Amino acid sequence: MPLPIDVRDRELRAPERFDIGAEYRADLEGILLSRAELEDGVSRLAAAVTDEYRGNPDFYPVCVLKGAMRFFVDLLREIDLGVPYSEGMVYSSRYQSGPTTQTPAMEFFQEEHLSGKDVLLVEDVLDEGYTLSALRERIEAFDPASVEIATLFDVASNRQVDVDPTFDGFVLPDGFFVGYGLDYEERYRDLPHLAVLDPAVVDG
């Protein structure tokens, strides 16, 4: 199956059918992608990234914290370029206490290492696009050789600014997703599946 995998029309499955605790199940409307389906998507992305960067010591994957942490580790575990390369990370958040901002708060680690590198921004979800647009602009100021994007999830219908991923895992419908790094008020990142949160949890 070619990437991205479009799951916009897929039906949710009942949380009771999955190996998750009752404390979680009560808060979920349903499961869109199981752990096994996520693993398969990550493997396909890893193969595509490997094909593109094989033998390139300037490959510089950057983890966009915190949401992409799990995806980043799982992706890199399956990438073997045959040469040593280095890795970076950036903390980025649009959702500080207070209203959502278009420009994320961001903090790079070792941004001087970006110069001359073939940067791959590794993101859990590309939604409105403000985050990756701002990150890319900031990275370009450090004179990298190239900047590409790998996202596991893509809510393409929500895009507000022009950002296209080079490596795109799953195209999602609009919805409030949690799991595999995605959170609601910092909870549910640890859920191994991708689920839709029950609106009652958000509405209180």
Ligand X SMILES: O=P(O)(O)OC[C@H]1O[C@H](OP(=O)(O)OP(=O)(O)O)[C@H](O)[C@@H]1O
Binding site residues, ligand X, CB under 6 A: 64, 66-67, 92-95, 104, 123-131, 183
Q: Are 117 and 56 spatial neighbours (Cβ–Cβ below 8 Å)?
A: no
User: In the complex with ligand X, which residue's Cβ is closer, 100 or 146?
Assistant: 100
The SS3 of residue 197 is strand
What are the tokens at 203?
A: 């509405």
Closest CA to 9 of 199, 188, 152, 175: 175
Name the minimum Å distance from CB 81 to ligand X.
Answer: 25
SS (H, E, C) 13-44: ECHHHCCCCHHHHCCEEEEEECHHHHHHHHHH
User: In the complex with ligand X, which residue's Cβ is closer, 94 or 138?
Assistant: 94
Name the minimum Å distance from CB 116 to ligand X.
Answer: 25
DSSP assigned state of 12: P
- Find tokens 């280095």 and name the residue: 86
User: In the complex with ligand X, which residue's Cβ is closer, 82 or 98?
Assistant: 98
CA 185 to chain centre: 17
Q: What are phi and psi of 108, to 5 degrees?
A: -85, 150
Q: Are 131 and 102 spatial neighbours (Cβ–Cβ below 8 Å)?
A: no
Which residue is at the shortest CB distance from ligand X? Answer: 67
Catalytic, 9? Answer no
Q: Are 107 and 123 spatial neighbours (Cβ–Cβ below 8 Å)?
A: no
Name the minimum Å distance from CB 158 to ligand X.
Answer: 7
Name the minimum Å distance from CB 107 to ligand X.
Answer: 12
Catalytic residue among 127, 154, 168, 183: 127
User: In the complex with ligand X, which residue's Cβ is closer, 114 or 152?
Assistant: 152
Q: Which residues are catalytic?
A: 127
